[in-house]
Amino acid sequence: MKISELLFEEVNKRGMIVQTLQQFVNNPVYQDLPEPPPTELDEDEQPIAFVPKGDIGVKFSPSKLPSAASSQTEPKDISGGIAQPIEPSKVAQSGFNQNAYFVKYKQYKQPASPSVMKPWEYSLIMISRDPIYVDQKTIDSLRAQAEQVVKKENPELEGGKFNAKVESKVDAAIKDKVYKEFINTPEFKNNPNIVKAMQSGKLSKADFVVTRAASASDREKLTHVHGSSVTIIDEQGKPIVDLDALAASISRKPDRILSTNTKMKKSIQGGEQLGFVNIGIPAIAGLVYDQKRNQFMRVVTCPGAGYCKSYCYATAGGYIQYKNSAEGTARKLNYYYNDPEGFKNQVIREVKALVKPGIKQFVRWHDSGDFFENAYLNLAYDIARAVPEVTFYAYTKVASVANDTNAPDNWVINFSKGGAKAQQEEQVNFSKTKYSVVVPQEVFVTDADVQNFIQKTEIGKLMDLYKLNKAKYPNLTNQQLAQDELVQKWTRKYLVKQFHDRLEEDDPTTVATAKKRIAEHYKLNPNSVITYDEMTEIPEENKLKYNVMVRTKGDGDWNAARRDVHGTYLLIH
């Protein structure tokens, strides 16, 4: 069986539902479950490890690690407590959890009202008592095989799409391996709750889930540290986390600090070429090895972040999934923390190298992270003053940064509304401050839109859309569906996607509707709401005037660097 045919599918980004089970016990309850075909990926691999809690060794020799640079200073933070020491044992546990898994099953919650839809709201109930560890060598082997499969099956894919496809298959293969081995253990076979639930029919083969052992706390402690950076040595069946290797890895100075991404690509305006680069550090929090104190530190890199933590794009996807991206941001933060003067001088050299005739150059702080201490903000100002012909800009959720009157002339700041802590937003005068906001889906798809769609769409088409069994519900009416809370949720999700698809296609009616609804929802002058493409055709002025809609695909980031754009409305769905 090819890796692309593995037996999982993603559900709510919380785990993987098992679609086919191994015939795993002799109990007659399980006899109707089919035997899965063999997978090519597991033939030569060693069994994975079941590791009792707390039975993890640590290799840590601070005296052998890099020493501090002379420019390291005490952190002087904006909001208090930005840098806190972490015990080596906790770093080791968090590192171990990056490649460890638990097996759980889904216990569904009853919807608030009866529904024809199967409810997706559920609690995950732990089955495996201890984390199940998959060594990095196995993961690397699966990745190499997945790359070959993707190249063969999807030769047109490249870059980020290729990597995403590979990682999806690797994730599925790992969880397949974890599940297959766990269901053969006495811990699973003799679990009375599982046996009872299967016998009663309350637990089906589609309700088992494999999740990473890494908790939200682990992810914050090791934000932007890739799993392969955490070396785990196997000594007589006991995993030893090599913190010396981890400290050395994140302490290595990056070859380059400036980088680009698809959002920062070059733009053309009136024959003028625009160049964009960015500086990124770990989002929310990052792991630092303090070379002066010889200890690990957790640094809060987004002190003003509030609700945005729940959807932050920089704590998922390519930012942490791929080794180069993950290690790059971790090393930049470590470089600044241990040698701020060296960091500053390198950025100045890199920015000066970009200054060329015919190109208007922009540098963004940050595509991830924020100004977490005054010394870091002042360093950014020093860099901007050193290269006055370049425009530097940033988004922030820290009010004191947005309100700072000491910024250099070539500095543009945007306050991120909505995702920041309430006490930060309360300190900002938005009538005089550039800002950005993520537009909620309710702005584009109202309750009335949902009801109208359900009531006016032919019942057969609705049942096909929601994959409802027509034989089971032969007399279902539009009115019944319109009153169903889960149907309403699914309908809103469907309509939002349709709306955004039309926006991406520049459908004139949809664009006009989006402008109108944004103006009404945020109480804006309708004439001030424009698209990103329309903005690029308007010469820049030196006063806040326009409110720009920015789509997830195709649009750039120039709006954030322009002094005539008051509000940026991010159309994320």
CA–CA distance from 155 to each of 40, 86, 146, 147 (Å)?
A: 21, 45, 13, 11
Helix (H) / strand (E) element for 243: namely: helix 243-251
CA–CA distance from 220 to each of 122, 216, 301 (Å)?
A: 25, 6, 10
Q: What is the pLDDT of residue 212?
A: 80
| Whole-number Å distance between alpha carbons of 109 and 119 | 7
Mean pLDDT throughout 554-565? 92
Strands in 145-244 per DSSP E = 208-212, 231-235, 238-242
How do residues 184-218 score in pLDDT, each as one tens digit? 788 777 888 777 777 777 676 677 888 887 666 66
Residue type, 480: Q
How do residues 335-382 score in pLDDT, each as one tens digit? 999 999 999 999 999 999 999 988 899 999 987 778 888 889 999 999
Q: What is the pLDDT of residue 412?
A: 95
Q: How many residues does the chain have?
A: 573
Where helices occur in 339-373 by DSSP H, the ranges are 340-352
Beta bridge partners of 530: 548
Q: What is the pLDDT of residue 60?
A: 82
> Can you tell me which residue has the tokens 């190499």?
144
Average model confidence (pLDDT) across the chain: 77
Find the helix packing angle between 323-338 and 243-251, rounded to 10°.
Answer: 80
> Can you tell me which residue has the tokens 């938005």?
430
| Peptide bond before residue 366 is cis, with ω within 30 degrees of 0 | yes
Q: What is the pLDDT of residue 73?
A: 59
CB atoms closer than 10 angstroms to residue 466: 16
How do residues 125-157 score in pLDDT, each as one tens digit? 888 777 788 877 788 888 889 999 999 988 888
CB 567 within 8 A of CB 439: no
Cα-trace Rg, the chain: 26
DSSP 421: -
Q: What is the pLDDT of residue 178?
A: 85
For the chain, the domains span 1-38+101-213, 53-98+215-433, 435-573
CB 248 within 8 A of CB 64: no
DSSP 449: H
> Can you tell me which residue has the tokens 């906790």?
90
Q: How confident is the model at residue 47 (pLDDT cuts 50, 70, 90)?
A: low
| Whole-number Å distance between alpha carbons of 133 and 103 | 12
The rounded Cα 547 to chain-centroid distance in angstroms is: 27
H/E/C letters for each residue in 50-90?
ECCCCCCEEECCHHHCCCCCCCCCCCCECCCCCEEEECHHH
CB 48 within 8 A of CB 134: yes
* Choice among 174-188, 302-316, 317-331 with the minimum mean pLDDT: 302-316
Local structure of 392: helix, strand or coil: strand
Residue 433 has pLDDT above 90, yes or no: yes
Q: What is the pLDDT of residue 39?
A: 42
Q: How confident is the model at residue 226 (pLDDT cuts 50, 70, 90)?
A: low
Query: What would the two tokens of residue 474 be?
Result: 């032969």
Mean pLDDT throughout 404-408? 92
Provide the edge-to-edge strand list for the sheet that holds 83-86. 83-86, 295-300, 285-290
The pTM (predicted TM-score) of the whole model is: 0.75
Burial of residue 106 (CB within 10 Å: 0-12, 13-18, 19+) is buried
CA proximity to 401, closest of 439, 368, 431, 434: 434
Mean pLDDT throughout 80-92? 77
* Choice among 361-365, 409-413, 474-478, 510-514 with the minimum mean pLDDT: 474-478
CA angle at 417 for the pair 545 and 389, rounded to the nearest 5°: 55
Q: How confident is the model at residue 33 (pLDDT cuts 50, 70, 90)?
A: very low
Query: What would the two tokens of residue 33 be?
Result: 């479950």
Mean pLDDT throughout 425-437? 91
CB atoms closer than 10 angstroms to residue 456: 8
Q: How confident is the model at residue 307 (pLDDT cuts 50, 70, 90)?
A: very low
Residue 91 has pLDDT above 50, yes or no: yes
Q: What is the pLDDT of residue 100?
A: 83
**Cα distance between the two ends of the chain:** 35
DSSP 414: E
Maximum alpha-carbon separation in the chain = 78
| Whole-number Å distance between alpha carbons of 192 and 214 | 27
Residue type, 34: P
CA proximity to 393, closest of 303, 278, 556: 278
CA angle at 211 for the pair 280 and 368, rounded to the nearest 5°: 10
Mean pLDDT throughout 238-267? 78
| Whole-number Å distance between alpha carbons of 224 and 221 | 9
Beta bridge partners of 137: none
| Whole-number Å distance between alpha carbons of 380 and 24 | 59
Mean pLDDT throughout 17-43? 34
Residue 19 has pLDDT above 70, yes or no: no
Q: What is the pLDDT of residue 139?
A: 83
| Whole-number Å distance between alpha carbons of 328 and 248 | 13
CA proximity to 363, closest of 560, 73, 101, 567: 560
Mean pLDDT throughout 411-417? 93
Q: What is the pLDDT of residue 367?
A: 77
Residue 313 has pLDDT above 70, yes or no: no
| Whole-number Å distance between alpha carbons of 201 and 221 | 41
Q: What is the pLDDT of residue 567?
A: 95
| Whole-number Å distance between alpha carbons of 161 and 387 | 36
| Greater model confidence, 104 or 525 | 525
Q: How confident is the model at residue 220 (pLDDT cuts 50, 70, 90)?
A: low
> Can you tell me which residue has the tokens 């047109």?
156
Residue 414 has pLDDT above 90, yes or no: yes
Burial of residue 6 (CB within 10 Å: 0-12, 13-18, 19+) is buried
CA–CA distance from 398 to each of 233, 369, 409, 424 (Å)?
A: 42, 11, 20, 6
Local structure of 201: helix, strand or coil: coil
| Whole-number Å distance between alpha carbons of 322 and 281 | 15
